[in-house]
Amino acid sequence: IAMLESEATVVRIENGATYVEAQGSGGCGGNHCSTTCSTAILTRLFSQNPKALQVNNPISAQVGERVVVGLAEGAFLRTALAVYLLPLSALLIGAALGLFAAGHGEARDLYAGLGGLAGLVLSALALKLFAAKLSPGGMQPIILRRLS
C-alpha cells in the first residue's frame, strides 16, 4: 500500500488514544516539488495550524518521541474527493432543481440560490453522518516507526 508519510511528535496519550503534532516541512516540503510531492502535501495537511491529530499507535510510542506517521494514499484521495466534490455537486444539483421548481417565474434566481444552499446544507449533513464510513480504521493515520 502506498503511504503518505510525515514526521511528527507524540504530544499526548489519553484513554489509549495517541495524539501527534506534525513537524515543520519534512521531506521535500521546502523545494520546487512542494506542490506535487506527497510528503509535502501530507505535511501541509497536518500542519496548517498546529493541532493534535489522533493516530493508531501499534509501536507503543511514548509522549515526546519523534515518529513517522503514515496515511494510505487511497484514503487521502477518497476523503478529499468526498469533502470537495460532494458539496460542489450538491450545490449545482440544488441550484438546478431550484430553477426547475421556479419554472418561468420572476424569482428564478431566488429559487436557484435557495436550492443551492439547501444542497450545501444537505451535503454537510451527509458528510457528518457518513464520516465514519469515509474513515474506517484502516484509513486512520498510523505511526509507522520511531525516528532516531
pLDDT digits over 107-127, tens only? 999 999 999 999 999 999 998
Q: What is the mean pLDDT of the chain?
A: 81
29 pLDDT exceeds 60? no
How does residue 19 score in pLDDT terms, banded at 50, 70 and 90?
Answer: very high
Cell of 53: 491529530
Least confident of 27-36, 112-121, 129-138: 27-36
Mean pLDDT value of segment 87-107:
93
**CA–centroid distance for 29 within its chain:** 19
pTM, rounded to two decimals: 0.56
Query: Distances in Å between the alpha carbon of 93 and those of 2, 74, 113, 121?
Result: 34, 27, 11, 12
Residue whose grid cell is 510525515: 6
Q: What is the DSSP letter of 30?
A: T
Residue whose grid cell is 513537524: 23
One-letter amino acid at 110 equals: L
What is the H or E stretch that residue 41 is in? helix 38-47
Contact 29, 4 (CB under 8 A): no
Mean pLDDT value of segment 54-58:
90
